[in-house]
C-alpha cells in the first residue's frame, strides 16, 4: 500500500526532546532510503521542537544508510529567537546515527522587501511531453513510485546509455497521488532527481551525498514544481550539485546545494 510523504515522515513525541518514527518501505534506492526522505523525518521533529512550521535553511550530513524500520530523532533547540528558531537533530536507527541535521525555522509569509531575480525557471516541455520515471525493483528505484517525476527529454538520455554530456538534470516534480508539497516536502524535492553526474560522461556510477543544505524561500503554490540541478565542479574527489525549485506561479521556492563524494576507484 502506498504511503504518502506526510505519513511516511510522521513523528510522535516520546518525551525529553525525542521523537519516534519509521523509515517506511518503498522510499529506497537499491535498498537504502533516499537521503531527502530521511531528512524530512528529522525535519518534522525539528519543526515540532522549534514550534515553527517552515524550514528556512536546513543542513544534513548523511552518516549511514537507512533501511526500513523504526527510528528515533533527538531534536534540540539551540536558540529560540522572536522570528527564527534554530534546532539540531540526530536521526538514529537502533542507536546508530544515520543523519545529523542543523536548521533554522520560522513561519514564512509575504516579505515585502526589495526583490531582484537574476534567473528564470527552467524551460521545460509540458509534463506530458517529458519522460516519466516509473519505479522498478532495481533501476529506476522503488523510491520513484512515491513521486511523479518528469525529466526534460534532453536530460533523460542517460537512461538508455546516451548521456547528454552536461551534468544537468531538469524536470517536473510532484508527490504521488497529488499530495500537497509543503516546505518540508521541498527537502525531499531537492534530493529526488537522478544525479547530475549521470549525464556527465565521466566514469562515475555512484556519488554518495556527504552533505545537503536546502534553503526555503517561500511556501510553494499547489501544482507541479519546476526543478533544475547542475554540477560545475568535479574536483578533489568531490562534486557539488546545485538545485533550484520554482513553483507553478513562477516563484523561486527553494535552493539547494549538496556535496557528494566521487569514488576514487572508478576513475
Q: Given the rule CB under 8 A, which residues bind a second copy?
A: 56-57, 59, 61, 63-64, 78-79, 81, 84, 86, 88, 90, 97, 100-104, 108, 111-119, 167, 200, 202-204, 210-211, 213, 215, 217-218, 231-238, 240, 251-252, 255, 257, 259, 262-264, 266-267
Q: Report the C-alpha gap between 27 and 47 in whole angstroms.
A: 22
Q: Nearest to residue 258, comparing CAs of 236, 235, 232, 239?
A: 239
Nearer to a second copy, 31 or 237 (CB): 237
Q: At its nearest, how many Å lie between a second copy and the CB of residue 220?
A: 12
Contact between 86 and 78 under an 8 Å Cβ cutoff? The reply is yes
Nearer to a second copy, 34 or 104 (CB): 104
Is the CB of 81 or the CB of 126 nearer to a second copy? 81
Residue partners of 24: CB distance under 8 A and separation at least 6: 3, 7, 8, 68
As measured in angstroms, the least distance from the Cβ of 52 to a second copy is 13
Nearest approach, Cβ of residue 205 and a second copy (Å): 11
Select 171 or 243, whichever has its Cβ closest to a second copy. 243
Three-class SS state of 206: coil
- 160 half-sphere exposure, CB direction, 13 A CA radius: 6
CB of 3 to a second copy, least distance (A): 28
Going through 24-115 in order, the beta strands assigned E by DSSP cover 28-29, 32-33, 54-62, 69-80, 85-93, 96-106
Q: Which three cell numbers stand for residue 186?
A: 521541498
CA nearest neighbour of 93 among 24, 151, 155:
24
Distance of closest approach, residue 83 Cβ to a second copy, in angstroms? 9
Least CB distance to a second copy at residue 148 (A): 26
Name which of 141 and 243 has its Cβ closer to a second copy: 243
Q: For a second copy, give the closer residue by CB, 8 or 58.
A: 58
Amino acid at each position: 500500500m502506498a504511503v504518502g510523504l506526510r505519513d511516511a515522515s510522521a513523528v510522535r513525541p516520546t518525551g525529553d526532546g525525542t521523537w519516534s518514527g519509521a523509515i517506511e518501505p518503498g522510499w529506497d534506492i537499491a535498498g537504502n532510503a533516499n537521503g531527502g526522505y530521511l531528512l524530512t523525518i528529522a525535519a518534522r521533529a525539528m519543526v515540532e521542537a522549534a514550534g515553527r512550521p517552515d524550514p528556512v535553511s536546513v543542513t544534513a550530513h548523511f552518516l549511514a544508510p537507512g533501511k526500513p524500520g523504526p527510528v528515533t530523532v533527538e531534536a534540540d533547540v539551540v536558540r529560540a529567537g522572536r522570528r527564527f528558531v534554530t534546532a539540531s537533530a540526530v536521526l538514529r536507527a537502533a542507536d546508530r546515527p544515520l543523519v545529523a541535521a542543523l536548521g533554522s525555522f520560522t513561519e514564512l509569509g509575504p516579505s515585502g522587501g526589495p526583490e531582484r531575480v537574476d534567473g528564470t525557471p527552467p524551460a521545460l516541455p509540458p509534463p506530458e511531453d517529458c519522460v516519466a520515471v516509473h519505479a522498478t525493483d532495481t533501476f529506476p528505484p522503488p523510491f520513484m513510485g512515491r513521486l511523479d517525476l518528469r525529466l526534460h527529454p534532453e536530460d533523460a538520455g542517460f537512461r538508455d546509455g546516451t548521456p547528454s554530456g552536461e551534468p544537468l538534470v531538469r524536470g517536473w516534480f510532484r508527490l504521488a497521488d497529488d499530495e500537497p508539497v509543503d516546505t518540508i516536502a521541498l527537502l525531499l524535492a531537492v534530493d529526488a532527481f537522478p544525479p547530475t553526474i549521470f549525464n556527465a560522461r565521466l566514469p562515475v556510477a555512484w556519488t554518495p551525498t556527504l552533505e545537503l543544505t536546502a534553503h526555503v524561500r517561500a511556501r510553494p503554490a499547489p501544482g507541479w514544481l519546476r526543478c533544475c540541478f547542475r554540477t560545475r565542479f568535479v574536483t578533489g574527489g568531490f562534486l557539488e550539485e546545485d538545485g533550484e525549485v520554482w513553483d507553478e506561479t513562477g516563484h523561486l521556492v527553494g535552493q539547494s546545494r549538496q556535496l557528494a563524494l566521487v569514488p576514487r576507484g572508478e576513475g
